[in-house]
Structure 1
Amino acid sequence: MDPRLISLIPARAVEPASYLELALRAVTANAQAITRLNLNFMALHGTELVALYPAAVDFMPRYLKAYLSERLQTQASLSAEPGCPVVFRDFALSEISTQVKDHGYSELIIQIKEG
């Protein structure tokens, strides 16, 4: 019931997909819950979580924002499928919410799933 209780669930105790779902539910209920997530999980899945709920980036610690932003910028360019009007290339983590507002979640989720 309280999204901050996610900090009591060890990420290694549940399947990664289940922890991601729990994390998304917690952050959706209260964006500040992102500060309670397992740091190893955030290093691996933080960009995906923020892509699904961009407002959470406002509550992330500065060092984690910088780390995730750097990961996004050093990854190979993310290109959309042919015919897609959006091409995601290197961008700062804070730009995710702008992309989502302009083009919706579906294209960004496709890009994340494709790596």
Structure 2
Amino acid sequence: MKSLEDQLKNLFPDHESEPEVENNEQPTIWLQEEPLLCKYEKRKGKPITIIEGYAGADSDFKILAKEIKQLLSVGGSFKNEQIIIQGDYRDKIMAFLKEKGFKVKRVGG
């Protein structure tokens, strides 16, 4: 039995197959000049960390929210142009954002 590639070569002898390119790069996120604000609040008695002040596209900010949640293995959400992370992770989040190239400003406490 012939492989699918061999069968396609028989059907289309002039066609040259293109090498598959793996794209393992993370999507690039627009970096802004203004610092992101990283603050701590308590809602319903539970601590949360809020990141806000991003002027780029919402889709980029959502990607950033997903990366932060995966890094910390915690829950969170993206609402009203804010990333809300469950728990007080200001130091870890600020270090992660600085590593990515963002300027970060700690607000409160």
Answer whether TM exceeds 0.5 for this pair: no
| Larger RCO, structure (CA 8 Å, separation 6 or more) | 2
Greater helix fraction, Structure 1 or Structure 2: 1
- Name the structure with the higher strand share: 2
Which protein is bigger by CA-based radius of gyration? 2
Q: TM-score, normalised by structure 1?
A: 0.29
When normalised by structure 2's length, the TM-score is: 0.30
